[in-house]
Structure 1
């Protein structure tokens, strides 16, 4: 589930977490079980346009590009 950061459910969950309000968070999770694995983000982004640092195209390119020999440190 992807929730827009301005959605009332997302705002309520974030507020409960920041306030440490466990009963309110439990109520939200009981009413919306998918909230436990939900991600907050911009739901208006086109599919496939991920900007996550772990899955973005720059990381994939960097993983295939080896470091130059002079940038590697020797282990002691």
Structure 2
């Protein structure tokens, strides 16, 4: 994980939620994969805020990013 990516993780307020567009700025895959991974359990599940709006808990995304970073560090 690069210094820029680590800074992005630390810039996220753990309290709050973010929409798919914001999540996609932090992950190395696209919209279709985001939904596929969330559905399969490889990425945190979004929360349905209202009928047509879903969002991810910031802390869930932070935890996932940190776990990916730790897994990558262990492989090296």
TM-score per shorter chain, which class?
under 0.3
Name whichever structure is richer in helix by fraction.
2
Q: Which has the larger radius of gyration?
A: 1
Question: If the length of structure 2 is used for normalisation, what is the TM-score?
Answer: 0.24
Name whichever structure is richer in strand by fraction.
2
